[in-house]
């Protein structure tokens, strides 16, 4: 039986890249196939054995809090859904750290609502949990980006390494690209990159604090330097996620996800 029953879902982003579609509405509540993006991620968590979820929001996202409370315990949703506020937009790792007390000294899954997965043999969260249950270290989900879809995927870095079945031996983790850009393959036909599904051990929170102490004032506390530290210590594994990854934090990816999920719902 899995030891991961809690999940943190960071929802503090401003959603500036989605303003043409959202018109100021919280991007996590934009409907895809008749349901808010956040509902799709919460359902994935519940299907992965998550019983208790924490939604981390910015102070201006009361609409997300209201929605989360309305679906807690509903059919197909986690039994408990709590919310917490990230007071300043200091980065993804800082948003995860808001959930330290929530994690209660247990391993915790993290699922980004910008990322959806379809045509999966098992939910994406369940896949990273499966690797955690086997390895008992931090896990990051990875996916292969090919040239035909790169323009509808965000600027995550290419992870060099070697794939062995569903596992990926990560050699290094480069820094991210520019915030407004899309995925850059360079001259390659495809590449592996990290996506928004993780499992973090209780020790991850102290690593986040360590990394923060090395940052220049005002710099975001992002997930990349945290995972770089984990990798250097041999405390990070890569899990290749089976299924199709959709980046709904970009207009092109959102439109693709809407079309795919509408077709599957027919």
User: In this structure, is residue 171 part of a structural domain?
Assistant: yes
Q: Give the residue-averaged pLDDT of 122-143.
A: 97
3-class DSSP state of 151: helix
* pLDDT recorded at residue 148: 84
Average pLDDT, integer, range 123-136: 97
More confident residue, 20 or 259: 259
| pLDDT surpasses 70 at 82 | yes
Q: Quick one: pLDDT at residue 265?
A: 65
Q: Is the model's pTM score more than 0.75?
A: yes
Say yes or no to pLDDT of 266 above 80. Answer: no
Q: Decide if 1 is inside a domain.
A: no
Note down the domain range covering 232: 6-265
CATH number of residue 71's parent domain: 3.90.550.10
Q: What is the pLDDT of residues 57-74, one digit of tens each?
A: 999 999 999 999 999 999
Counting every residue written for the chain, the total comes to 266
In which order are the strands placed within the sheet that holds 52-57?
A: 80-85, 52-57, 6-11, 108-111, 190-200, 138-146, 236-240, 167-170, 161-164
Closest CA to 89 of 222, 215, 179: 222
User: Residues of the chain with pLDDT > 90: what percent?
Assistant: 75
Number of compact structural domains in the chain: 1
Strand partners, 199: 109, 139
């Amino acid at each position: 039986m899995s030891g991961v029953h809690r999940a943190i879902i960071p929802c503090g982003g401003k959603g500036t890249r989605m303003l043409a579609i959202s018109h100021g509405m919280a991007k996590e509540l934009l409907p895809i196939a008749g349901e808010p993006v956040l509902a799709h991620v919460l359902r994935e968590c519940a299907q992965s054995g998550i019983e208790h979820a924490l939604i981390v929001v910015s102070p201006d996202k009361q609409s997300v809090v209201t929605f989360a409370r309305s679906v807690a315990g509903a059919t197909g949703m986690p039994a408990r859904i709590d919310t917490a506020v990230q007071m300043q937009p200091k980065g993804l790792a800082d948003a995860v750290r808001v959930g330290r007390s929530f994690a209660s000294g247990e391993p915790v899954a993290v699922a980004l609502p910008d990322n959806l997965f379809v045509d999966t043999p098992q939910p994406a969260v369940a896949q990273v949990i499966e690797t955690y249950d086997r390895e008992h270290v931090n896990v990051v989900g990875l996916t292969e980006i090919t040239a035909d879809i790169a323009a509808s995927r965000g600027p995550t870095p290419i992870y060099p390494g070697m794939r062995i079945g569903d596992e990926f031996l990560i050699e290094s983790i480069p820094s991210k690209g520019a915030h407004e850009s899309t995925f850059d393959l360079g001259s390659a036909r495809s590449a592996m990159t990290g996506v928004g599904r993780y499992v973090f051990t209780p020790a991850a929170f102290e690593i986040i604090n360590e990394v923060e102490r090395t940052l220049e004032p005002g710099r975001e506390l992002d997930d990349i330097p945290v995972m770089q530290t984990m990798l250097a210590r041999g405390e990070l594994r890569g899990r290749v996620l089976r299924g199709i990854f959709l980046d709904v934090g970009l207009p092109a990816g959102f439109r693709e996800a809407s079309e795919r999920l509408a077709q599957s719902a027919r």
